[in-house]
Amino acid sequence: MTAAAYQYADLPDASVVTTRALLTARENITDTVAARAMMCIHGGAGFGKTLAVNTCLRGLEPGEDVRRVTFRARPTARAVRYELFTALGLPGQPPRHPSEFDRLLKTALAERPRTFLVDEAQWLNGEAFEYFRYLWDEPSTRLAIVFVGGEGCHSVLRREAMLSSRIFIWQHFTRLTPAEVAEVIPLFHPLWADADPEDIAYADQHAAHGNFRNWARLTAHVRLALARTSRPRVDTDLLRWAFSRLGNPT
């Protein structure tokens, strides 16, 4: 699968590569949705969590109703209600009173099975997490919820005992190991396909550090360098120039 904008970089010809973490996420998400359960995918920034989850959700059974919600600040339960109202595409104006709003959401969520992808979940506080639990616990709703967030997401969820005890699967995304880098980066973009494995290892050690977002930024700069110099392939000089743009002078 090609990714026109891979990990926040406009990177033509980049591909989504099947890492061990992505394969595990695919299995975990499939099982969570089938069970109408909740799961948490967490890990450091740039490790490929959101990309993996979006890829896996697109591979679910046709007709699965997936809605994405994203929070950028500490939301209250009121803010969560409004975000869900928008994500579900409900008609009319949002109700003014919380009890009426809750009835409307529970009625909509009882219509058919739905899956929520809650991205940037590290911004959720206890009140917001509790509201998702409240909706999921409603017997008439048939919700599956995939929380995706940074390390803070895991910490906050663990503190919410009632919700944490209901999490079906926890998955921790980590950096690519050197062995994984050697295996998947040549598949990630054509410019690495014929690169010297030592240059790939050098790039990872000095700039990418097993982080897919770093690899995407580095690849974008190396691609520019190849085009401007007409060199046939990646070399150490090109890498050092790219490092300097990324704030890595070595």
Q: CA 31, 34, 39, 43: dihedral to nearest 10 degrees?
A: 50
pLDDT at residue 91 tops 60: yes
pLDDT at residue 191 tops 80: yes
pLDDT at residue 71 tops 90: no
Give the burial class of 240: count Cβ atoms within 10 A of its Cβ; 0-12 exposed, 13-18 middle, 19 or more buried. middle
Please report the pLDDT score of residue 4 as a whole number.
39
Query: Ramachandran region of residue 92, left (φ > 0), alpha (ψ -120 to 50) or beta?
Result: left
CA distance 39 to 41: 7
DSSP character at residue 94: P
CA-nearest of 175, 88, 164, 178 to 126 is 164
pLDDT at residue 38 tops 60: yes
Please report the pLDDT score of residue 1 as a whole number.
38
Please report the pLDDT score of residue 150 as a whole number.
87
pLDDT digits (tens, 9 = 90+) for 39-65: 999 998 889 898 889 889 888 877 789
- Residue 183's φ and ψ, nearest 5 degrees, are -85, -45
First to last CA, the chain: 33
pLDDT digits (tens, 9 = 90+) for 199-220: 999 999 999 999 999 999 999 9
Q: CA 105, 107, 109, 112: dihedral to nearest 10 degrees?
A: -160
pLDDT at residue 180 tops 90: yes
Chain center to CA of 81: 22
Binned at pLDDT 50, 70 and 90, residue 159 comes out as confident
Contact 59, 33 (CB under 8 A): no
Edge to edge, the sheet with strand 143-149 lists 65-70, 114-119, 143-149, 38-43, 167-173
Q: What is the mean pLDDT of the chain?
A: 89
- The DSSP secondary structure of 180-205, one letter per residue, reads HHHHHHHHH-HHHHTS-HHHHHHHII
pLDDT digits (tens, 9 = 90+) for 110-136: 999 999 999 988 888 888 889 999 999
pLDDT at residue 165 tops 60: yes
The stretch 223-235 carries a mean pLDDT of: 91
Binned at pLDDT 50, 70 and 90, residue 9 comes out as low
List the chain domain ranges: 5-15+176-245, 20-173
Tokens (6 digits) for 31: 């099982």
User: What is the helix (H) or strand (E) element at residue 144, kind and residue range?
Assistant: strand 143-149
pLDDT digits (tens, 9 = 90+) for 143-152: 999 999 988 7
Which CATH topology does 20-173 take?
Rossmann fold (3.40.50)
